[in-house]
Amino acid sequence: MSDHARSKRLDRVVDELASVPDPLARLDAVRRAREALERLELETVAESRRAGVTWSAIGVLYGLTKQGAQQRFQSKRKHA
């Protein structure tokens, strides 16, 4: 699957979340999705590091320095 196709699928999921009519139910659905994505993000950072990806390369994706990326993700891993 191409990056464009993945992006479209994600857009559809976000649209589905946005269309939940009850605001409290929508908020709960968004919260659960965010938590799942944060877990996936942390797992993917750890996997990337095990595969040899540098903190500098990860930082570039987030507009951070090497140190900024380390601070952002190492502190979250300790609390996860």
The answer to whether the beta carbons of residues 61 and 53 sit under 8 Å apart is no
pLDDT at residue 80, rounded to an integer:
58
CA dist 37 and 17 (Å) reads 14
Mean predicted lDDT score pLDDT of the chain = 94
Tens digits of residue pLDDT in 38-64 = 999 999 999 999 999 999 999 999 999
**Which domain range does residue 45 map to?**
3-79
pTM, to two decimals: 0.82
- Number of domains observed in the structure of the chain: 1
Element (H, E) at 14: helix 3-18
* CA pair distance 30, 5, nearest whole angstrom: 22
**pLDDT of the residue at 77:** 65
